[in-house]
Amino acid sequence: MIREFRLPDLGEGLTESEILSWRVAEGQSVTLNQVIAEVETAKAVVELPSPFEGVVARLHESVGSVVEVGSPIISFDVADPAGTSVPAGTAPVEDAPRRQPTLVGYGAEPDKAGRPARRPRPGLSAQPAPASPVPPVPAPAPAPVPVAPDAVAAGNVEVMPDRPRSTPPVRKLARDLGIDLAGISGSGPEGRILRADVEAAIGSRDDPGMQAGAQPVVADAPHLGQGREERVPIAGIRKHTAAAMVASAFTAPHATVFLTVDVTPSMNLLEKLRARKEYDGVRLTPLVLAAKAVCLALRRHPGLNARWDEAAREIIRYRYVNLGIAAATPRGLMVPNIKDAQELGLRELALAISDLARTAREGRTPPAALSGGTVSISNVGVFGVDAGTPILNPGEAVILALGAVRNQPWEYEGGIALRQVTTLSLSFDHRLVDGAEGAAFLRDIGDVLGEPAMVLAMD
């Protein structure tokens, strides 16, 4: 029977995902929980496991497609519950409980009581299932579904028109350039549309001297990115980032305060800690100290660890700190957060930040890590930037930007000395935070970074 797999909600109410790659092809046999595709949603890359064991009948979407949750992405030709193959196109019986998808895979097909059926262990014979006293009621026949060539040859399925024959990279190129493949004649084997065909179509479209239906003459076919303009579709991380920043900028009234701090004592502390055995292999940076300082300062200013709920007309104050760390990755800006960061010591916090950054760069950040943040830090200093006015993450009241640490002449002990100095920038939601509160919070962070021993006086 033909079973469709629809894109599931991969967590946190996400509405769509982009197909990054297919790990299977039409006509290929797959096993339960075998990875069939990689999708990107809310800046995270997630591997989709197969919910069925059978043969891939159809890939409904190409690489690069943005698919809404609930839309079919792949169809399988699977065996019926008795283990015999059912002719493709036959209506499946849907009176048995379905398996429920999870982020880590799918359980075995449940029995009629709703319990997952156990597979027989090697060397043990499975007991035959008792015959059902009541014959199953046939389900209504579904709409025709395009299937594998062997099913078509059997003559028991209606074939829908095929999409133009091409490879996923060629389809993505055509989509990026706004070219309809249906209007292109392929020059490849069996009429397959090649990259050169798409590039030739670009020359035809952009050349005002070409007559309708005339074949373009292309000496050197242009490539994507050449020419005076390039059009890039708004999708993936850029799309999510833009939506979040617009929502934040036009919802929360932003205000920003700045503080320049002599962090020489903190830099000396980091050097001493790096020499200690318990910190072997731990990456200690000014960001780690800033993260700890933020958690400490929130104890004295809990009102900044909050969210404005416009619909409920309430201010929600958190009794925990999910600390977001802005990370620049090959896919774009991401802000995963460390859950319950207020419970972590300096070493654990350093390890968590390193793991967070590595996972983000590798594209393995789970969707849950990208939601639920309460306060964030953006380390603009790694780019050589001194200060900025960071935009709040939606649902958060404050965000700290940590500037570059530079050697500068500074007033010190009644004279001028060369000291290590940085600038802190704090943006806050002025509906939740008054200027005095924001300034006091930033001052406490500066005190910890300027003299780490100050934590002993903070309660």
- DSSP per residue over 86-126, as a string? PPTTPPPP--SPPPPPBTTB--PPB-TTSPBPPPPPTT-PP
Non-local (6+) Cβ contacts of 215 within 8 A are none
CA 286 to CA 368: how far, in whole Å? 26
Whether the Cβ atoms of residue 431 and residue 308 lie closer than 8 Å to each other: yes
> Which stretch of DSSP H or E encloses residue 248?
helix 236-249
**Phi/psi at 349 (5° precision):** -65, -40
CA angle 157, 160, 161 (to 5 degrees): 145
CA 392 to CA 438: how far, in whole Å? 14
Burial 183-218 (b: 16+ CB within 10 A, else e): ebebeeeeeebbbebbbbbbbbeeeeeeeeeeebee
Catalytic residues: 430
- CA-nearest of 45, 37, 42 to 63 is 37
CA 322 to CA 356: how far, in whole Å? 13
Instruction: Using the Cα atoms of residue 12, residue 308, residue 398 and residue 380 in order, give the sign of their dihedral.
Output: positive
CA 39 to CA 22: how far, in whole Å? 9
- Pairing relationship of beta strands 406-412 and 398-402 according to DSSP bridges: unpaired
CA 83 to CA 81: how far, in whole Å? 5
Residue carrying structure tokens 């065909």: 197
CA 52 to CA 31: how far, in whole Å? 7
